[in-house]
Amino acid sequence: MKSSDAVPLYRVRRSKIHGTGVFAASDIKKGTRISEYVGDRISHAEADRRYADKADDDNHTFLFTVDNRIVIDGGVGGNDAKYINHSCDPNCETVIDKRRVFIEAIRDIRKGDELGYDYLIERDDSDPPDVDVIWACRCGSPKCRGTMLLPRKPKRKKAKKTAKKKAKKKAKSTAKAKGKAVAKKTSTKGRAKTQSAPVVSKKKKKSTPPRKGGGTTRRGR
């Protein structure tokens, strides 16, 4: 069979989840690299400038964060991968390999099933009170968290220590440090000073393995 006659992995059509979606055109096995997320590769500053006028209640985005330098704008020069919707119980995941973003199946996918991955959108202190409504998720999964945003990070409780406890701890650490200094001075007395040769590692440098995707990002808040 010619490569041109090969059955396509997916098709793009209307989705019940959100606008346009991507659906399996044939059975897809777990581990299959389905597509690459491509588009205009820009800086974070350019992404901010490009979408500065984006309305707060607009949850439509084609921006994907690769790392702290690069953002892919799938809305400019992108492909069908930009239409893959968010899912709280995804059958795909994004993998970053050498600064390229790929969509891979994390389980077997049946023909007709909609493809989805977790957008991993982070929250921000400047988010409006109704941010979860704006970025509501309609994936319909029993595991749906109701929003495309990541859960709020729990606030760390600061341990309260009395001045007495702090002073006691400081006194102990000072005494311990003095003890170490005396022991070191005593142990080296009467010995000739020697300098050890530097340790040279013979281990080969490991190549950086692919990592899970950085996630969809939003601008214009």
| pLDDT digit string, tens, across residues 112-150 | 999 999 998 888 888 888 888 888 998 989 999 999 998
Percent of the chain with pLDDT over 70: 67
Helix ranges (DSSP H) in 152-218: 163-187
210 contacts: CB under 8 Å, gap ≥ 6: 95, 96, 97, 102
Query: Cα dist. 6→3, 10, 21, 25, 187 in Å?
Result: 5, 12, 22, 11, 76
Flag whether pLDDT at 81 surpasses 50.
yes
The enclosing H or E element of 46 equals helix 44-50
Task: Give CA–CA dist 174/55, Å, rounded.
Answer: 57
14-44 pLDDT, tens per residue?
999 988 999 999 999 999 999 999 999 999 9
Tokens standing for 65? 């964060």
Q: Which of 82, 75, 109, 93 is nearest to 19 (CA)?
A: 82
Q: Does the pLDDT at position 166 exceed 90?
A: no
What predicted TM-score, i.e. pTM, was given to this entire model? 0.70
Is the confidence at residue 5, as pLDDT, over 70?
Answer: no
Range with the lowest mean pLDDT among 23-27, 67-71, 215-219? 215-219
* Token pair in block for residue 129: 């009170």
- pLDDT of amino acid 192: 38
- Tell me how long the chain is: 221
**What pLDDT is stored for residue 204 in this prediction?**
41
Tokens of 61: 């985005």
Q: Which phi and psi (to 5°) does residue 61 adopt?
A: -145, 145
Structural domains in the chain, CATH included, are 3-152+209-217 (2.170.270.10)
Say what the pLDDT of residue 107 is: 98
